[in-house]
Chain A
Amino acid sequence: MNAVPSELATYNFAYLDEQTKRMIRRTILKAIAIPGYQVPFASREMPMPYGWGTGGVQVTAAILGPEDVLKVIDQGADDTTNAVSIRAFFQKVANVAVTTKTREATIIQTRHRIPEEKLTAGQTLVYQVPIPEPLRFLEPRETETRKMHALEEYGLMHVKLYEDIARNGHIATTYSYPVKVEGRYVMSPSPTPKFDNPKMHMSEALQLFGAGREKRIYALPPFTDVVSLDFEDHPFEVQKFERPCALCGAENVYLDEVVLDDRGGRMFVCSDTDHCEDRRDHGHCGTMLAYGKAAAE
């Protein structure tokens, strides 16, 4: 019987071994070369569960260097538990500098949001992707969907969107809203609200998408043409909020609804917590913050 080794393992910089990193980097290069195309890769088991960002974590681990500054967000916030957990993971295994400031980060790993602040050249946005296949809920078989992509056969998706309009008068997809990349591949933006879709278009930053469980990586190189699918008479439009953020007064940003009491009280605040804090630091003030301050005084 073999005894339990006292030292089980020492992990490489950023957890993954160098061979695995090389394999992932090659995949990323291929993905960048064919924007929007899902490149299969030999995804590894990671020390966090599938569905919790293993794809994004592998991409980040493969591109992370000691000089990088990492930001991790989930639902737009730096302090949601899974974002905290992933940030702590990279601090532990790569001892890398971390930040909550969008503009200070060189790599931003995200789940479900794109930061409000415009990303700039040199930054990389890494998306955690649960289902990379935009056609999956129309056709469950991988063998079929790969064929459809190869033949550029996207009629099914347009029929789905058309049926939405016929039934509801408008397209009833609010997140994971499909986009067409460089006029070729239909791509899932991951479950970000469609509010964020326009930010992907012609972005200065490199955008990488990692799906660990489904073993796919895809990419949008900087300045890529990304168009949300729509019809001439039903053009794509993003969600609009009726009021500004209650804390920082920002308009034209994505808001979270916070339930205040059991009598229907609601407030709407920035989903992007860094953006909201930054605005408040610069003296912007929403209605609820003013109210809170007044109450405190």
Chain B
Amino acid sequence: MYVAVKGGEAAIANAHRLLADRRRGDRSLPSITIEQIVAQLGLAVDRVMAEASLYDRAIAALAIRQSRGDMIEAIFILRAYRTTLPRFGYSVPVETSRMLVERRVSATYKDLPGGQLLGPTFDYTHRLLDPSLLRDEQVEEPLQRDGEQEPVMRVSDILAGEGLVEGDGELPAGHVPGDLTREPLEFPMARDLRLQALARGDEGFLLSLAYSTQRGYGNNHPFVGEVRMGEVEVELDLPELGFAVSLGRIQVTECQMITQFKGSVKSPPQFTRGYGLVFGQNERKAMSMSLVDRALRTDEFEEDVVSPAQDEEFVISHSDNVQATGFVEHLKLPHYVDFQAELDLMRRMRREHDERSREEPGDDTLEAAQ
């Protein structure tokens, strides 16, 4: 008792052993396989890949299993793995207008070239518990038809024809896109870096910020120009060959949010855009990202920063859930040295306070008498 507690090492080892036991659970049940997680918990896998910034379903599924389904923990495990991987190059920009579209909806047009494709969506399901899922139910094969021959035109390209929407924007000459994971963050940020930060930002945090813009904290009258999900080709420029070669396809969700803009000294009235792009299928994240992206472009449109979602330092500094969870949870580490210092100060201040109130009771009674 009188000697500082020893045995941290044994305690940690035992805690890890207990954790492994709790992760595995009832040994009479077969353990869940990586393939099952990839196939049946695909959206969880997608979220982990997106916020870890690493596209690998099997490893993301492994992280989910290892973290007992704790998503932020899984993202963290995957990030720590990602950071050790060597960089052998940067891909050429993916061309989402050539996406193999599995889902594509626009809220701004009733019908449009390429059509409205619902795809695998929860949107019009009734959220009634399905008792058939209690068993290993039989599921019908999906209906399929041949894909479109023509690339599915982007809604922004339709509006651009009339000059009513801002263009994709030009990067300043010589601007090399930054890499958030290789350079320290500095404020104010360029939009490329900001979009990188948003793409790996916490889904819940961005959702709430996006929601706040709709409730009057930085409103910009948004319309979903288009949400599309499907596979895009990733290509890498090989200097030896002189052209780009395909590395394979990845699934992404893209959202183009169209917002009103009344014009400024520099630019005529036109629609502006917010942009969202995430790995896998995750519309909620892509839409939230596009709203927050637009909200953060106050500099470009000479808008006043009046609400949290427009405040770059506030949003970007707090959007990373791996950082946030680490710092919040570090409060459970011992702080007794600092607490001792505070305790000492508190006792001293209390003593001084008590002494003062003993010295001054006369004043109170005098005032009361008057």
Contacts and interface: CB of A to CB of B under 8 A. Distances in A.
Contact of B79 (A45, A113, A191): A45
A33 B90 CA distance: 34
Contact of B2 (A74, A172, A288): A288
Interface stretch (B104-112, B118-126, B146-154, B322-330): B322-330
Given A11-B84, A142-B313, A50 B334 contact: no
Given A74-B334, A81-B12, A143-B187, A4 B3 contact: no
B40 to A, nearest CB: 13
A175 B345 CA distance: 11
Interface string B181-201: 111111110000000000000
Interface stretch (B55-63, B212-220, B232-240): B55-63
Contacts of A141: 187, 313
Contacts of B57: 1-2
A80 interface: yes
Nearest to B79: A45
B2 A256 contact: no
Contact of B345 (A3, A83, A174, A289): A174
A35 B84 CA distance: 30
A34 interface: no
Contacts of A43: 184
Interface in B10-45: 11-12, 34-35, 38
A3 B35 CA distance: 9
B338 A175 contact: yes
A135 to B, nearest CB: 14
B83 interface: yes
Nearest to B11: A81
A1 B345 CA distance: 61
B83 A4 contact: no
A155 interface: no
Interface stretch (A116-124, A200-208, A222-230, A266-274): A266-274
B19 to A, nearest CB: 14
Contact residues on B (Cβ < 8 Å of other chain), bracket: 35 or more
Contacts of B325: 49-50
Given A1-B57, A4-B34, A175-B341, A142 B5 contact: no
Given A46-B80, A260-B1, A269-B4, A51 B338 contact: no
A292 B326 CA distance: 40
A47 interface: yes
Interface in A24-80: 40-47, 49-52, 54, 74-77, 79-80
B326 A213 contact: yes
Nearest to A3: B58
B337 A88 contact: no
Interface in A154-197: 168-169, 172, 174-175, 191-195
Nearest to A4: B58
B340 A193 contact: yes
Interface string B42-75: 0000000000000011110110000000000000
A253 to B, nearest CB: 12
Contacts of A292: 2
A247 B3 contact: yes
Contacts, number: 160
B345 A42 contact: no
A279 B221 CA distance: 71
Contact of A174 (B82, B317, B329, B341): B341
Q: Could you tell me the dominant secondary structure of chain A's interface residues?
A: loop
Contacts of A142: 187, 313, 317
Contact of B352 (A12, A17, A169, A255): A169
Interface in B336-355: 336-338, 340-345, 349, 352
Contacts of B338: 112, 174-175, 191, 193
Contacts of A11: 84
Given A52-B333, A141-B313, A267 B2 contact: yes
Contacts of B328: 51
B330 A130 contact: yes
B9 interface: yes
Contacts of B3: 247
Given A4-B58, A81-B12, A50 B187 contact: no
A218 interface: no
A213 B58 contact: no
A148 interface: no
Given A143-B187, A260-B1, A194 B8 contact: no
Given A81-B11, A142-B313, A255 B83 contact: no
Contacts of A175: 337-338, 341-342
Interface string A238-282: 010000001100000011111010000001010101000000000
The 3 closest A-B pairs by CB, nearest first: A50-B326, A51-B330, A49-B326
20 contacts: A2-B57, A2-B58, A17-B84, A44-B181, A46-B83, A49-B330, A51-B328, A52-B326, A77-B4, A141-B313, A143-B313, A168-B352, A169-B352, A174-B342, A191-B335, A193-B340, A213-B326, A246-B2, A256-B337, A257-B343
Given A2-B58, A9-B85, A15-B84, 7 more contacts: A3-B58, A49-B322, A49-B330, A75-B337, A79-B6, A141-B187, A246-B2
Interface of B: 1-9, 11-12, 34-35, 38, 56-59, 61-62, 76, 79-86, 181-188, 313, 317, 322-323, 325-330, 333-338, 340-345, 349, 352
Interface of A: 1-4, 8-9, 11-12, 15, 17, 40-47, 49-52, 54, 74-77, 79-85, 88, 111-113, 130, 141-143, 168-169, 172, 174-175, 191-195, 213, 215, 239, 246-247, 254-258, 260, 267, 269, 271, 273, 288-289, 292
